[in-house]
Homo-oligomer: A and B are copies of this chain.
Amino acid sequence: MTLPMTVPAPGLPARVRIHEVGARDGLQNEKSTVPTEVKAEFIRRLAAAGLTTIEATSFVHPKWVPQLADAEQLFPLVSDLQGVELPVLVPNDRGLDRALALGARRIAVFASATESFAKANLNRTLDESLAVFEPVVRRAKDEGAHVRGYVSMCFGDPWEGAVPLPQVVRVCKALVAMGCDELSLGDTIGVATPGHVRALLSQLNEEGVPTDVIGVHFHDTYGQALANTYAALQHGVTTVDASAGGLGGCPYAKSATGNLATEDLVWMLRGLGIDTGVDLGHLVATSDWMAGHLGRPSPSRTVRALSHKEQ
């Protein structure tokens, strides 16, 4: 299999933890609903490929996300995996109850940096939505869980356009203050560019949010995700979200959300000599297998290129 030549660049982290979102964020945004046993097998294969943080599912009401309505059935099928963290998304107290009852030890809440998205997604103001998350985060922490706070629309918003940095910083600080162990800065509509990424990270540092609690979550809507990731690595970020095979971002659908493909990320990190623990060939084979279940080719350029070579 073709692999990049390893040539490190100065000032980058030695190791990056990939937060794999394909099974949750990816499948949630795919048209077809995947059978529970296929999801479980997918998560097992991702773990076998070397991924150590695999977001498994979401305990939202099935009415809102029918693709993940099987969270209760799925989680016990994978919770025995050793050496793998399995975060789950919870929207509220009821979701947290369901997740904790199944033994989930990593919880994620999904906030927004903009009023418009809070309104559209949760039908709440930004402050109301933060007020809902506060007791959820506190209780999760009390139960000993690790909590990640997603912050969507950190760079642009389909209704509001460019999002001012202080607005993003305010939400990030609020999430850290209520107890989140980690943030995931989401470029939900994929508009960010590297200077914008640097500026937000610097601003967060200046306002007391250290780089080691920050993960980045880029979308490839405009092809910018890896350049933005490189800028984030140069700033010292060591947690990067990605979706195996680019799940959730179908190049044939106009509504592509465009998650960064884990394979494209692993290619770059391997070339840079940054350790991820992931076996690229194994991961590509997993995404190929899932693409077969979804009945369409993967949007990941690396998956397409390497699948070609292996045929």
State the CA gap A231–B8 with chains docked (Å): 12
Q: Are B162 and A5 touching (Cβ within 8 A)? A: yes
A38 within 8 A of B: no
A9 at interface (Cβ–Cβ under 8 A)? Answer: yes
Does A301 lie within 8 Å of B223, measured CB to CB? yes
A96 beta carbon closer than 8 Å to chain B: no
Chain B neighbourhood of A251, CB < 8 A: 251, 299, 301, 304
List the B residue with the shortest CB-CB distance to A265.
B223
Q: Is the CB of A267 within 8 A of B301?
A: no
Hey, which chain B residues are within 8 Å of A299, CB to CB? Answer: 251
Contact B221 A8 (CB under 8 A): no
Q: Which chain B residues lie closer than 8 Å to A270 at the CB level? A: 193
A84 within 8 A of B: no
- Is the pair B229, A9 in contact by a Cβ cutoff of 8 Å? no
* Chain B CB within 10 A, most for which of A3, A193, A231: A193
Residue A141, interface by CB 8 Å: no
- A191 interfacial contact with B, CB 8 Å: yes
**8 Å CB contact of A4 from B4, B192, B198:** B192
In whole angstroms, what is the CA distance A212 to B239 when docked? 36
